[in-house]
Structure 1
Amino acid sequence: MSDLIFGISVGIMHLPQGMAYALLAWLPPVFGLYTSLYPTLICFFFGTSRHISIGTFAVLSIMVGSVTERLAPDVDFLKLNGTNVTAEVDVAARNSYRVQVAAATTLLCGLIQVLLGVVKFGLVGTYLSEPLVRACTTAAALHDVVAQLKSIFGVSPARFNGLLSLVYTHLPTLVASLVSLVLQIAAKELNPFLSPRLPVPIPVELITIMAATLISNCGHLNRNYSIQVVGEIPSGRQHLGRCK
C-alpha cells in the first residue's frame, strides 16, 4: 500500500514538474510530459534497479536549454509584422527547431553514455574524492537555483530601458513565488513535528500546486496582473517536423 501511495503521489507531482523542467530546457511544456512518461515505461521493462529515479531532472534540463537557446535564439526566427512593420518571433518555427535540437542532443548524449558503458568507464568514478563529489553536487544545486531566478522574479531575458532598468522585476510574479516558497518551507519544518500524529506527511507541494492553479484560474492572474502561465497543453503526440 505504501508503494502504491508513493507511486500515485510521485506521478501527480511529476506532471507539473515535467512541464516546469521543459521550460528550463526552452521547450514547449508538453514535451516535459513526454519526458516524464516514456523513459519510465522503458525503465519498467528494461531497468535493473527499482531504486533509480527516471524522469525529468533540473540540471540536465538547464544544460539542454543552454544548447537549444544558443543554437536556436529568438533573433533567428524574427518575421515582419505587416501592421506596423515591426519584427516579432515566429514561435511555432522556433519551438519546432528547438525540439529538434534537444532531440538530437539527447540522442548524441545517449550514444556517448552507451559507449562509455561498453568500455566500463564508470570505474573512473571510484577514484573521485568525496569533497569533489560534494562540490559538484553543490554547484549543480546552485546552478539550478540561479537558472530559475528569472521565473521567480518575473524577469524577461529581453533588455529594458528607463529608470531602474537593471533591477526590473515583475512584482506580482515575485509575490506569487515568495508566497509559494514560504508555504513549502514552513510545511517542511512542521512535518517532522506533526508526523507522529498524522498517518502520512502533509503533501505541501501538491496542495501548493492545486491552490495556485485554482487561484490563477479563478483570479485571472494572467489577464489582470500579467503573470505568465503555462497556457493550453495540446493533446496527443506532437509532430516534431523534419530535422534540418
Structure 2
Amino acid sequence: MQRIFPILTWLSTYKRAYFLKDLIAGLTVGIVLVPQGMAYAMIAGLPPVYGLYASLFPVITYAFLGTSRKIAVGPVAMDSLLVAAGLGTLAISGVENYIAMVVVLALMVGAIQFLLGLFRMGFLVNFLSKPVISGFTSAAAVIIILSQLKHLLGTEIAGSNKFHQLLQNAIQKFGDTNPYDLGIGLLGIVLIIVFKKWNKNIPIILIIVVLGILGVYLLDLKMYGIELVGDVPQGLPSFTVPDVKLEYVQSLWPIAIALALVGYLEAISIGKALEEKGGEETIVANQELIALGTSNMIGSLFQAYPVTASFSRSAINYETGAKTLLSSLFSVALVVITLLFLTPVFQYLPNAILASIIMVSVFGLIDVKYAKSLWTNRRDEFIILIITFLSTLFIGITVGILIGVLCSLLLMVYRTSNPHFAVLGNIRNSDYYKNIRRFGDEVQVRDDLLIVRFDAQLYFGNAAYFKKELLRHVAAKGNSLKAVILNAEAINYIDATGADMLTKLIHEIHAMGLQFYIAGAIGPTRDVIFSSGIINELHKEYLFVKTKEAVSFYDDPNKVSIVGCRVAYENSRRN
C-alpha cells in the first residue's frame, strides 16, 4: 500500500514539529497560488476561475500519490503557454467549446503520463544529469525573476519564456514604472532577505503578505495606481465527465504528448533540484508519472486544465520550510476558503508583494557555487551546464532542458567511445600491476611484455579505438616485445562487434609472432569469451584470474598453466 500511496510512508513517521512548518509553507504557497492560478488560466486562454479549479483536486491527488515532498503541483506558466499555443492552431468557435477541449486535453495528458508510469518508463529521468538540472534551474530562475518585473514596476510588460525578449520588453517599459509599486516590491525583497539572515524561523513571507493587504486597505494606496490582485470569482467546481469526442482526440494528441512529457520533465527536474539542495532522495520516477497522470485525469473531472510542478511555488514551498506534502493540502484549504469566503480580503493584495516573494525564492536556486566547482574539476560537464543554461535562457525552458539532455548523451557516447586505456607495470616488491603514468618510478616496465587495461565495456562504439590503441602500444615496444596481456577487470560486457574485433585482433597479434593473454575477466565477460568464439582463438590455457598469474605463466609455462587455466575455466562456468 505504501508503494501505491506514498503518503502512507511519510505519514507514518510524521513528527509534531513538522506541522507548523507545513502549515506556514502551505498557507504561503496558497496565497501565491490564488493569483498565479488565475493569471496562468488567462495565459491558457481560459476564464481566470479555471486556474483555481486546477489548484484543487489535482493538488489533493498528488499529495496522496506523489513521492517528492517539496514540489508544489498546480497550474504553471509553461503548460499554460503550451495549451494556448496548441489550441490556438485549431479552429475552435466559442468559449464553451474551447473549455471542453482543454478539459479533454487534461484527461489525455493524464492518461499518457499514467500509462508511461504503468509501463515503467520513468527511467527517462536517468538522463537528467546534475549539470543539466543545475543549468536548467538556474536559467529558469532568471527567466521567472524577469517575468515578475511587470509586477515590480507596476506596468504592462509583454511576457515571454526567453531572457532577451523579457529584458528588452522590460527596458522599453521602464519609463512607465509606478514608483509606489516599485517601492512596495523593493521593501518586500529587503524585508525577506534581512529577516531570513536574522532568523529563518520567522514566517516573513506570510507577514509581508498581511502587511501588504493591511497597508493598501488602511492607507487607501489603491488611489496611487498600485496593481492589486483584484476580484476573485467565487464557487467550487462541479463534477463533470469530459465530453471525449473522436475529433477532439485526433486534434489534440500531438499537444497532449508534448504536454505529458514536458510536464513530467518539469516535475522531475524541479523535484531533483530541491532534493539536491535538501540532501534527501525520495523521488520514484515511475510513481511520479502515475501521480501526475492521475492528478491530471481526476482534475479533468472537475474542469481543471493540465498541471505539473510549479518552479516558483516549489521554491517558495522549500524556502518556507515545508517538510511533507501536507503543506499542499493546506494550500488547497486556503484556495477553498478563498473561493468561498476570503475574496474581499485578497483583492487588496499588491501584485508587487507577490513579485518580491517569487523573486527572492527562486534566486536561491541559481547555483553559482556548483558551476565554479565544475569549472575547476570537470570542464566537460561545466560546458554541459553552460549549454543548458544558455539554451534555456535564449531558446526556451522546454527546449533548453532537452538540449542539455542531448548534450549529456553525446558526452556519454564520447566517453564510452574513447575510454581510459592504461599501460600497466608491476609495483616493485608486490603482486600489483598499476598504471605506469600514475605510479612512475614505483613500477617496473618490461620491454618484452605489454600489459594493458581497458576501463569500459567493449562494444561497437569503441572497438576500433581499442584496436588502434593496442596496436599503437605494440608498435611502440618494437622487436623486443614477446607477449601482450589484457587486464579485463574493467570490461563488464563485450558485444558482438567487440567480440568479432577481439577475435581478429588476437589472430593478428599471433601472426606477428606474439602471444596474447587475458586476465581478470569477470563472470559475464568470461561467458562472452566462451560463447562468442574468442576462446577458440585465445585458447583456454591463456585465460587467467589474475594478471600476476599470466605474467608467471609467460615466465614459466610449466609453473602455473594447469592451476591458472582450471581456476579461470571453473569460475567462468560458475559466474
Q: What's the offset of the Cα at 1:7?
A: 3.1
Q: Secondary structure at the match of 1:25?
A: helix
Q: Which moved more, 1:18-27 or 1:177-186?
A: 18-27
- Bigger Rg, which one: 2
Change (3 A) 1:230 1:40: same
Contact 1:152–1:173 at 8 Å: present in 2 too? yes
Residue number in structure 2 paired with 1:187: 195
Residue number in structure 2 paired with 1:147: 147
Change (3 A) 1:172 1:215: same
Q: What's the offset of the Cα at 1:188?
A: 1.3
Q: What's the offset of the Cα at 1:133?
A: 1.7
For residues 152-191 of structure 1, the aligned pairs below 5 Å read 152-157=152-157, 166-167=173-174, 168-191=176-199
- Tell me, which stretches of 5 or more residues in structure 1 are unaligned? 74-92, 159-163, 193-200
Contact 1:40–1:55 at 8 Å: present in 2 too? yes
Contact 2:49–2:233 at 8 Å: present in 1 too? yes
Q: Secondary structure at the match of 1:55?
A: strand
Q: Following the alignment from structure 2 to structure 1, what is the Cα–Cα distance between the partners of residues 98 and 155?
A: 22
Q: CA RMSD in A?
A: 3.5
Q: Following the alignment from structure 1 to structure 2, what is the Cα–Cα distance between the partners of residues 173 and 148?
A: 12
Contact 1:43–1:54 at 8 Å: present in 2 too? no
For residues 70-219 of structure 1, the aligned pairs below 5 Å read 70=85, 103-157=103-157, 166-167=173-174, 168-191=176-199, 201-219=201-219
Of structures 1 and 2, the one scoring higher in RCO (CA 8 A, sep 6+) is 2
Change (3 A) 1:238 1:38: closer
Contact 1:153–1:173 at 8 Å: present in 2 too? yes
Q: What's the offset of the Cα at 1:69?
A: 5.4
Contact 1:25–1:68 at 8 Å: present in 2 too? no
Is 1:229 aligned to residue 228 of structure 2? yes
Amino-acid identity (%): 25
Q: Following the alignment from structure 1 to structure 2, what is the Cα–Cα distance between the partners of residues 47 and 31?
A: 23
Change (3 A) 1:157 1:142: closer
Contact 1:153–1:170 at 8 Å: present in 2 too? yes
Residue number in structure 2 paired with 1:41: 60
Q: What's the offset of the Cα at 1:9?
A: 1.4
Q: TM-score, with normalisation over the residues of structure 1?
A: 0.67
Contact 1:19–1:30 at 8 Å: present in 2 too? no
Q: Following the alignment from structure 2 to structure 1, what is the Cα–Cα distance between the partners of residues 196 and 133?
A: 26
- Tell me, which stretches of 5 or more residues in structure 2 are unaligned? 1-15, 89-93, 159-170, 249-575
Instruction: Kindly provide the amino acid, as one letter, of the partner of residue 191 in structure 2.
Output: L
Q: Which moved more, 1:142-151 or 1:28-37?
A: 28-37
Change (3 A) 1:114 1:107: same
Contact 1:99–1:240 at 8 Å: present in 2 too? no
* Moved segments of 4+, more than 4 Å: 28-33, 68-73, 96-105, 238-244
Q: TM-score, with normalisation over the residues of structure 2?
A: 0.31
Is 1:7 aligned to residue 26 of structure 2? no
Q: Following the alignment from structure 2 to structure 1, what is the Cα–Cα distance between the partners of residues 207 and 115?
A: 43
Change (3 A) 1:165 1:212: same
